[in-house]
Chains A and B, each alone.
Chain A
Amino acid sequence: MSSDSPIIIVGTGHAGLSVAETLRRKGYEGEVRLIGEEPGLPYQRPPLSKQYLKGEWDESRLEQRNSGFFEKNRIDLVCGKAVTDIDPASRCLRLDDGSEVSWARLVLATGSRVRRLGVPGAEAKGVHYLQTRADADALKKAKENVRSVIVVGGGYIGLEGAAAFAQAGIKVTLLNRGTQLLSRSTSTPVSDYFYRLHHAQGVNIEFNTEVVSVNVVEGQAVGVTLDDGRSLRADLILVGIGVEPNTALAERAGLRCVDGVAVDGACRTSVSGILAAGDCTAFTHPLYGDTPIHLESIQNAVEQGRIAAATLVGEEVSYDAVPWFWSDQYQDKLQIAGLARGHDLEVIRGDDKGARFSVFCYAQRKLVAVESVNAPSDHMLSRRLLKQGISPTPDEAADLSFSLRDMLA
C-alpha cells in the first residue's frame, strides 16, 4: 500500500460522493472508502422537500448512483456507521461499533445538522424536522393524516414544506421570527414575492412571532403557544429554523473551526493530511473579501468535493467558483447567483409584481448577487458576469433592452 492510500471520506452526502467520484475520474488508483452514518445508498437532499415530500418521486429516484456504480469504481461504501473520533497523530479513526480504521489522508464531509427547537414540549411526537431521508419518510407518512400544519421558520425548508402541504390541501400556518421571509439570504423584492405567492395559495403567514412552547396532549403535539400569549392548534409541526455545520469531530481532533471547519481554497484544513468539503466548511472566497463564508448548497458541496479530490491527486487548485443556489415552490423557481451579504442597493430587472424578474444586488457599486424568479437566462448570465467581475451599472441592469450577454468577454 502506498503512503497516499487509503483515502477515507467521512460523510456520504453530496460532498463526500463528489470527492470519491472525482478521485476515480482523475485516475486515482488507491483505496477509497466512503463512511456515513445514514443507512442505504447516498441520496439527493433537495428533492426531500420537493418531489419526494409531494409524493411525485419514489425512493429509488432519490438515489445518487446505483450500487453497480460503487462496485465498478471500487468505492468502498460503508453505510450506517458513524465516526466517533479521529486521531490525527496516529491517523486512525474510530467507528461507533468500536472498530478502528487507519487512513493515509482523510476528508471530512460531515455536512450540517438541524437546529432544534429549544422550547418546552418540542420533543413531543408530531414535531418534525426535514433534513434526512428518514425525516422525509416520517413526514410523508404523517402528512397523510393531518388537516392542519404549523411550520416554524420562513427559510427555504419551511417555505418548500409549506408549499408541499398547501398543494396537498392541508391548512398551513407559517410562523416567521422577523419581518421578512428568507431574510438572512435574500433581497426584499424576492421575499415579498414569495410572501404573495404563499398567501395566494392560502398559507397563513405570521411575522414577528416566536414559539415559546409546544402544546402537548398525551405525548402528542397539538399546537404551539406564541410569545404574544396566543395558542395555535395544528395536527403537525414542521420546524425549519436552520442548520449548523457539523464540526464536532473536527473540533475534538483540534482542527481550527470558525462557523465551520476552516479550509483554504484547496480544501485543506489546519491539520496536514486532513481535508474538508461541503456544508461543514468555512473559507474565504476571492469574490467576497477577507471574512470567511459558509455555504449550504449543492453547488458548494459538489465543487468543494471536486477541489478536495484534485488536491488529493496533487493538482494545484483554488476555489473561485461563483456560489449558486435554487429553490422550487409551487410552479415558481428562484435561482440565486453570488452572495447578497452586506449589499446596499437592490435593482429590479423586469416586473417584480409579475411572474418573472431578477434583483441585482450591489455592495459599494459592485455587483455581488443576482436573484432571479422564473428568469433562468438572467441567472446563467449573472453567474458569468460575477465570475468575470463585470458589474452592469444599476441603470443598465434595470433596462430590459440592455443585453447582459453583450457584456461578457
Chain B
Amino acid sequence: MVRITYVEADGRTQEVDAQPGWSLMEAAFHNGIEGIEAECGGACVCATCHIYMDERYLEKIKPMESGEDEMLDCAAAERKPNSRLSCQIEITDELEGAVVQIPETQI
C-alpha cells in the first residue's frame, strides 16, 4: 500500500492507504473523500476529479495526454501548473507520502 494524503479545500486532511495500480481518483473515491466527484468513474470525460498534484512528485508521474489536457482547460476550478485529473494518475510506490490538494469546486 502507498500512503497518500488528501487535503480538502477547507484544509481538512485525510490519509489513505492506496492500492498500487489504481488511480489517485479511485483511492479517494473508495474512501469517500469529499471534493473529488469523479462523475464518470475515471473515463476522463467529466473533469470532476481535478486535483493540484504535489509538486515534489510531478516528475514521478506520467505526463498528461492531450485528452486530459483539454478536459483540464474546462475544469470548474482554476487551472494551475500542477493541475491534473486524478483519474489519470496511476498510484505507484514512488508516490509514497504524496500530498494531493483538492480544489474548491468540481462542478
A residues sitting closer than 8 Å to B (CB atoms) are 21, 25, 44, 46-47, 50, 61, 63-66, 68-69, 72-73, 298-299, 302, 324, 326, 328, 333, 335, 374, 376-377, 379-381, 384
Contact = CB atoms under 8 A, between A and B. Distances in A.
A66 B45 CA distance: 23
12 contacts: A64-B29, A65-B29, A65-B30, A65-B31, A68-B31, A69-B31, A302-B39, A326-B43, A328-B43, A374-B67, A376-B74, A380-B73
Nearest to B22: A61
A64 B31 CA distance: 9
Contacts of B70: 376-377, 380
A47 B41 CA distance: 9
Interface in B42-97: 43-45, 47, 67, 70-71, 73-74
Contact of B30 (A21, A25, A69, A299): A69
Pick from A64, A68, A380 the residue with the most CB of B within 10 Å: A380
Contacts of A50: 43
A21 B38 CA distance: 14
Contacts of B41: 44, 46-47, 298
B34 A25 contact: yes
Interface residues on B, range: 10 to 19
B40 interface: yes
A75 to B, nearest CB: 10
A379 B32 contact: no
Contacts of A326: 40, 43, 45
Main secondary structure of the interface of B (DSSP, over half): loop
B30 A63 contact: yes
A65 B32 contact: yes
Given A61-B22, A68-B32, 15 more contacts: A25-B34, A50-B43, A63-B30, A66-B31, A69-B30, A72-B32, A324-B45, A333-B43, A333-B44, A335-B45, A376-B44, A376-B67, A376-B70, A380-B71, A384-B74
Pick from B32, B43, B45, B74 the residue with the most CB of A within 10 Å: B45
Contacts of A381: 74
B47 A380 contact: yes
A376 B45 contact: yes
Contact of A66 (B30, B39, B67, B74): B30
A21 B34 CA distance: 10
B84 to A, nearest CB: 15
A47 B31 CA distance: 19
Nearest to A301: B39
Contacts of B31: 65-66, 68-69
B33 to A, nearest CB: 10
A69 B32 contact: yes
A52 to B, nearest CB: 11
A69 B32 CA distance: 6
Contacts of B71: 376-377, 380
A377 B66 CA distance: 10
